[in-house]
Chains A and B, each alone.
Chain A
Amino acid sequence: MEKSVATLDKGTTCSAWNYCGQRLAAGSVDGSLCIFDACDPASSSFSRTFKIKVHEASIVKVVWVPPEHGDAVACICADGSLSLWEEVVEDSQPLEWKLCKSFESKATKVLDVQFGALQTSLKTVVAYSDGHVKVYELLDPLELKNWQLQAEFQNAIDSVSTFGRANCFSASISWNPRMGENQESSFVLGFNSDTPQLNSPKIWEFDLAHQRWLPVAELALPVDKSDQVFAVAWASNIGRPYEMVAVATHKGIAIWHLGLNPDLDGRLSVENVAMLSGFEGEVWQMEWDMSGMTLATTGTDGMVRLWQSNLNGVWHEEAAFDTSS
C-alpha cells in the first residue's frame, strides 16, 4: 500500500509538492534547496535533479508559486528571511534556479507565506513575527521580481487599535482555493502568539470597491478567541453551499462552515460543526484532499490522521498512520 517515491538527503527539514504532484522541493538545515523530479511522465519514482544553496541559515518552509507563473518556490529560513527562487533557462544556458526576490524585513521574522493565484494577478500574504501581515501583488505576470506592497495590517477584527510588541511564534495562512473569475480573493490567517487578539483565525477578504482588506469572519468560539492557533486549512469547494475551514489549536481540530454570502455588515456567517480531539500533542500541518472530503493532519505525536464526516454529518477519525514504528 505504501510505496517509497523519494529519498531525502541528510539534514532535510521540510518539503513541498508542486500543484500537480510531479515535483518536490525540499529545504535543508544547511540552507540548500533540492528539487526532485521523475525522469518520465507518469513515473512515480523521484530523484534529485537540482541542489542550490539559498541561504546560510536553515530552511524551515518551502512553498510553491502557482504554476501560472512558472516553476518557483519561496523559502522561509530560520533567521526569518524570505526569498523567491525560480527555475529558468536563459539564452541556451542550462537550466538553473535563480534568486528573483528577497523580501527584506529588519527586526521581524517571516513566519508563513502563501500565494493566491487570482484571475487578475498573483498575490502573496506574508505573516511576520510582530503580528503584522503584508499582502504583495505581482506587477508583471512573467517576472517574479517585481512585487508591490498592497496592504499591511494586523490580524485583528478591530482594525483601529494596533498591538505593539506582539511576539508571535508561528503563523498559518490558507487562501480560499476556489478558482473562478468573479471570486473575491480571501484567505484565513491565525497566529500562535502572546497577544490574544491576534491569535484567532480571521477571514480576510479584498474589498474591491475600496481597495482594502477587511476581516469578514472570525473562526473561534467566544471563549476560545485567545487560543493560540497552530494551523489553518481552507478546503476546496466543489459545490457545497458553504465553505469549510479547519483550525487547529491546543483544544483540537475545529471544523468550521462559512456562509457564502455576507450579511448587511459584510460579515460571513460561521458555524462550528465539529471539534475533533482525542489525540496527544500539537498539530503541525493540515491538508484537505482535492474534493474537500478528507482532512489529513500531522502532529507532534508522529501520526498522520485522516478525518471525514459520515452520512449524518458527524466528523470522526477514519484512519491513522503511525510513523514512529
Chain B
Amino acid sequence: MPGVASESGGGGASDSIGGALVPFLPDSQVAVVYPLRHGLKPPISRVSVSWALGNTLRVSVFRPPAVESDHDDDVGGKVLEVKLGGNGDGELSDAQWRRIAYGSVSPFALLQSRRNSALSLSKMQLSPSPYHLEWWEYVMEYSKDISSLLGHPKSSPDPVIEDPKEVLKKVEEPTCLKAAWDLMEMFYADKLSQAWLPERLVKWLADYDSLLSDTQATVHLKLLEFQGRLVTLQVVEDDSKYWEVVSSALAVGWLQIVVKMLRLHGSYQLDQLGSRETENGLVETVAVLISKMPRLCPELEAGNLGECYKAKPDFMKAWERWRAQVTKLDSSAFWVQCDHRQTREGLKNLLQILLGNASILSTVTCNWMELYISHLLYIRPFTVGLESLYSLAQKCIQLKPMTSPHKLMQLIIGILGENTELILAECSRGFGTWMTAHAMEFLTAGSNQAEVLLHEERDNLGGISVMELHRLVHAQVLSSHILTWQIAPIYLISCMKQGMGLLEILLSRQPVKHNQLLIKNLEICRLYELDSVSSNIMKIAGIYHWKHGRKGSGVFWLQQARDEVCLNRIAQQLFDTVGKSISDESFKQWEGLIELLGSESKPVGGLEFLHKYRDFKRSLNQVYDGKPTDATKQAVESLLSLMKNPSTPQRFWLPLLYDSLKLLNWQERPLLNVSQTNLLLNKLQELSMARVRPDFIEADLPPQALSSVRLALATNLGRAILEES
C-alpha cells in the first residue's frame, strides 16, 4: 500500500525508510534493496518474519545448525526489529516525533469534531456547502496549534549590544517540517494573506533559505561564508565578494542585512568622511532607497525594512514613485564624482537589481527559488493568483534548473501547480505519515477539487478514500510504538470505513500481562464502546493469571469479562483443590479469593458454591460434640443450602455428606428433620443412578464412604421420625 514502506532514493538501511507515495508510479520501478545488518557470520540458512504492532517487522535470521569450524561462536541467529517508514527522512529524532504526535492529538480531535458538527448542521439546513464560511478560521486555529509544536523560528530577541559585524543572526535551528507546514498554512489556511502571497514567500525564504543549503547553493550559504571572512577584512569595499554578497542579499529581499552591510562601507568611518563625501552620500542614498522600498503587506515585523502598504492601488502608486527615484539616482551626475571603482560599480549593480534587471538577478541568485523571489520582488511585484505565480515559477525553474531536488522546493511546485497528488506524495516521502495525515486538512480547506479527490471512495483502495488511507497509515505508524499506540484511536475513529476494524485488531494485540497497560487498553475500549473486544481482552488476562498461579486475579478478570463458561470450569477445578486440601491454615489464603467472588448477584458462574462451602466448612469446624450450638445449626443450614443449590456439582455431593458425618450421627438428638433427611437421601439416590453414566467422576473418598453416609442418613431418618411423631 502506498506510503507504508516505500522509499526515496539512496542511502543504506541507516536512513529511515521514508513513506513514499508516488501515485501512478510506473510499475517498472525497481524496489530498493537494503542490506539488513545482523552481524552474523555467513552462511545464513533461513529467514523468518513476523509483524509486530503497526509497521514493525521482526526478522529472525538463522545460521545453519551444524557448521563445522565455528566452535568459538555460540550464536545461532539473531532477531532484528525493523521499523518501516513513518517519520520522514530522519530530520527529527524518534522522541521529537513522539512529542509532535502527542501535541497534535488535541488540535486534530478538535478540528474533527468541528467538522462533524458543521456537517450535521449542513445536513439539517440542506445547505450546499458543508462548511461555514469561517471554516478556514478553524483550520487556521488548528494550523497555529500544530505550528507551535514544530518550533518557533526567528523569535529570538535581539541582543542588547549588537555585534556590528554579525550580519546573520543565530536563531533556533529551523526545520524543514516547520518550513513545509508554514508553506501549507500560507497557501491554504491563511485566507487573509492571500492578497500578499508574494511578500509572504519572501519572508518564508528569509526564514528557511538555510534549509535549502542541504542540496542547493544558497544566498544564505554565501552570507555565512562571507561573515567568516568579514572579521579579517580591513577595507570591505575593496573586496569583490562584499559587493557580490550585498547584491545577492538584496535580490532575495533581505533589506535589513543589505543596509547593515552597506553601512560597513569604509566611507562611513570618521577619518574618511571628509575625503569620501560623495561616495558616502551615494552609499547612504542607496541604503535609504532600499530601506524605503514599498512592500505589499499588512505590517512589517519589527526590524524589517521597507514601507508597508495594505491596499494594492496605494502600493502600486508608491512603487511607481519609488522606481522613479531609483531611476533618477541611476542616471545621476554624482556617479562621475565617485572615485572608488568597486563602490561605483557595486552600487550601480544594486540599483539594477532594484530596477529588475533580469540577467543580474539571475547571476546573483543561487537557485530557482531565490531567482523566483527576486522576480516577485523586482520584476513582477504585482503578481496575483496561483496561476501566474506558477507560470513564473516554471520560468525560473527553466532558467535555473535544479541539479538535485529539494523536498521543500518540490512541495512548492506542487502547491503552485495545484497538484494535490504531488503534494501528498511529497509530504509523505519527505516528511512522513504524520505530515500527510495532518496536512490533508489544508488541502480540503483549500479547494473543492482537492476535497473531492481526497474524499472519493476508491475500489482500488478497498472502498476507502485517499484521506482515510493516509489516516490509517499514520495510525499504523503510531501503533508501532509502545508509547504512541494509545493515540492511534484518535485517527482511527475519524476513518469511517476501516478505522474501527483496525482499532479492534490493535486493541486485541496488546499485552495483558501488566495491569497498568491492561487497564489503559480497557479504558480505550470503554471510550469507544468496544464491549466485545474488552471482554475478550479481560478473558485473555483472566486465563493468563489463572494459569500463572494468580488464581485471584484470574477469577477477577474472568468475572469482569462475564465469562460464565470459564468460571464454571474454574469452579470445578477449585472444588478439587478445596475438597482435597482445605485445612484451617490454608483456608485463610482462600478467604481472599472467596471475598473476591462477592455477592451472589455477580456473574461468578459456579463459584458461588465456593462461598457457601466456605461458610459450611467454617461452621463445621466450630462444631464440637455435645450440645448443639449456633454453629451446629449453621452447619446444618449450610449443608442443606449447598445440597439444594443447583450449581453445586453432583460429584461434590458425596464428599459434602461424608464431611458432615458428625452432623448426621449427632449423639444427643437428630439434627435434621424428616423432610431434610429425605432431601439428602434423594440426592444420594440420584447420585447412585448417575454413577452408571460414563461421564461420572468418582470422588476421591474411602470405599466405605457411600455406605457410611447412607447408614448415617437412615439412622437420622429413623430418629427424626420418632422425634416428630
Binding site for B on A (CB under 8 A): 1-17, 19-22, 24, 26, 28-29, 36, 41-42, 44, 46, 58, 67-71, 86-90, 92, 95, 140-142, 179, 181, 236-242, 284-285, 287-291, 293-294, 296-298, 302-306, 308-314, 316-325
B549 touches A42 (CB 8 A): no
A291 touches B502 (CB 8 A): yes
**Alpha-carbon distance between A90 and B549 when the two chains are bound, in angstroms:** 6
Nearest-CB distance from A59 to chain B (Å)?
11
**Chain B interface SS verdict (over half):** mixed
B49 touches A239 (CB 8 A): no
Task: Closest A residue to B542 by CB, please name it.
Answer: A68
A92 touches B2 (CB 8 A): no
A92 touches B463 (CB 8 A): no
Nearest-CB distance from B427 to chain A (Å)?
15
B513 touches A13 (CB 8 A): no
Task: List which B453-481 residues lie within 8 A (CB) of chain A.
Answer: 458-464, 466, 472-473, 476, 479
Task: Closest B residue to A316 by CB, please name it.
Answer: B27
| A319-B34 contact, Cβ under 8 Å, with A13-B62, A68-B536 | yes
Task: List which B45-62 residues lie within 8 A (CB) of chain A.
Answer: 46-62
Task: Closest A residue to B37 by CB, please name it.
Answer: A2
A19 touches B47 (CB 8 A): no
- Tell me if B565 is interfacial: C-beta within 8 Å of chain A: yes
B60 touches A15 (CB 8 A): yes
Partner of B548, one of A87, A141, A237, A308: A87
**Alpha-carbon distance between A108 and B517 when the two chains are bound, in angstroms:** 45
CB neighbours (8 Å) of A92 from chain B are 549
Nearest-CB distance from B517 to chain A (Å)?
6
In the assembled complex, 8 residue pairs joining A and B whose CB atoms fall closer than 8 Å, in A order, are A21-B52, A28-B76, A46-B79, A87-B547, A306-B4, A308-B4, A312-B23, A325-B35
**Alpha-carbon distance between A87 and B7 when the two chains are bound, in angstroms:** 42
Nearest-CB distance from B273 to chain A (Å)?
63
B509 touches A290 (CB 8 A): yes
| A70-B544 contact, Cβ under 8 Å, with A140-B569, A290-B479 | yes
**Alpha-carbon distance between A20 and B597 when the two chains are bound, in angstroms:** 30
B57 touches A13 (CB 8 A): no
Given contact pairs A1-B15, A20-B509, A290-B476, a sample of 8 additional A-B residue pairs in the complex whose CB atoms are under 8 Å apart: A5-B80, A19-B509, A28-B76, A71-B548, A293-B4, A310-B25, A316-B25, A323-B47
CB neighbours (8 Å) of A58 from chain B are 65
CB neighbours (8 Å) of B6 from chain A are 308, 318-319
| A239-B500 contact, Cβ under 8 Å, with A8-B75, A90-B549 | yes
**Alpha-carbon distance between A107 and B57 when the two chains are bound, in angstroms:** 38
- Tell me if B330 is interfacial: C-beta within 8 Å of chain A: no
CB neighbours (8 Å) of A313 from chain B are 459-461
**Alpha-carbon distance between A13 and B549 when the two chains are bound, in angstroms:** 31
Task: Closest B residue to A46 by CB, please name it.
Answer: B79
Task: Closest B residue to A299 by CB, please name it.
Answer: B47
A289 touches B55 (CB 8 A): yes
Nearest-CB distance from A271 to chain B (Å)?
12
Binding site for A on B (CB under 8 A): 1-2, 4-7, 13-17, 21, 23-25, 27, 29, 31-39, 42, 44, 46-63, 65-66, 73-84, 458-464, 466, 472-473, 476, 479, 482-483, 497-498, 500-502, 504-506, 508-514, 516-517, 532, 536, 539-540, 543-544, 546-549, 565-566, 569-570, 573
A5 touches B543 (CB 8 A): no
Task: Closest A residue to B581 by CB, please name it.
Answer: A91
Task: Closest A residue to B80 by CB, please name it.
Answer: A2
| A69-B79 contact, Cβ under 8 Å, with A2-B13, A21-B58, A289-B51 | no
Q: How many A-B residue pairs have CB under 8 A?
A: 305
**Alpha-carbon distance between A298 and B47 when the two chains are bound, in angstroms:** 6
Partner of A71, one of B39, B547, B565: B547
A322 touches B76 (CB 8 A): no
Nearest-CB distance from B501 to chain A (Å)?
3
B50 touches A1 (CB 8 A): no
Task: Closest B residue to A15 by CB, please name it.
Answer: B60
**Alpha-carbon distance between A67 and B35 when the two chains are bound, in angstroms:** 34
**Alpha-carbon distance between A5 and B80 when the two chains are bound, in angstroms:** 6
A4 touches B539 (CB 8 A): no
CB neighbours (8 Å) of B504 from chain A are 179
**Alpha-carbon distance between A24 and B49 when the two chains are bound, in angstroms:** 12
CB neighbours (8 Å) of A21 from chain B are 50, 52-53, 56, 58, 509
**Alpha-carbon distance between A41 and B517 when the two chains are bound, in angstroms:** 8
CB neighbours (8 Å) of A305 from chain B are 31
**List of 4 A-B pairs having minimum Cβ-Cβ separation, nearest first:** A238-B501, A89-B549, A313-B460, A8-B77
Q: Which of B25, B38, B47, B544 has the most CB of A within 10 A?
A: B47
**Alpha-carbon distance between A295 and B687 when the two chains are bound, in angstroms:** 59
CB neighbours (8 Å) of B462 from chain A are 239-242
| A238-B4 contact, Cβ under 8 Å, with A15-B60, A70-B547, A321-B36 | no
**Alpha-carbon distance between A223 and B458 when the two chains are bound, in angstroms:** 31
CB neighbours (8 Å) of B73 from chain A are 10
B74 touches A9 (CB 8 A): yes
Task: Closest B residue to A181 by CB, please name it.
Answer: B532
Task: Closest A residue to B13 by CB, please name it.
Answer: A1
Nearest-CB distance from A159 to chain B (Å)?
32
Nearest-CB distance from A314 to chain B (Å)?
6
A4 touches B511 (CB 8 A): no
CB neighbours (8 Å) of A46 from chain B are 79
CB neighbours (8 Å) of B65 from chain A are 10-13, 28-29, 58
**Alpha-carbon distance between A264 and B469 when the two chains are bound, in angstroms:** 34
Partner of B81, one of A3, A22, A141, A237: A3
| A322-B33 contact, Cβ under 8 Å, with A4-B78, A238-B501 | yes
Q: Which of A9, A17, A237, A319 has the most CB of B within 10 A?
A: A319
Q: Which of B54, B77, B549 has the most CB of A within 10 A?
A: B77
Task: Closest A residue to B577 by CB, please name it.
Answer: A91
B83 touches A1 (CB 8 A): yes
Nearest-CB distance from A32 to chain B (Å)?
11
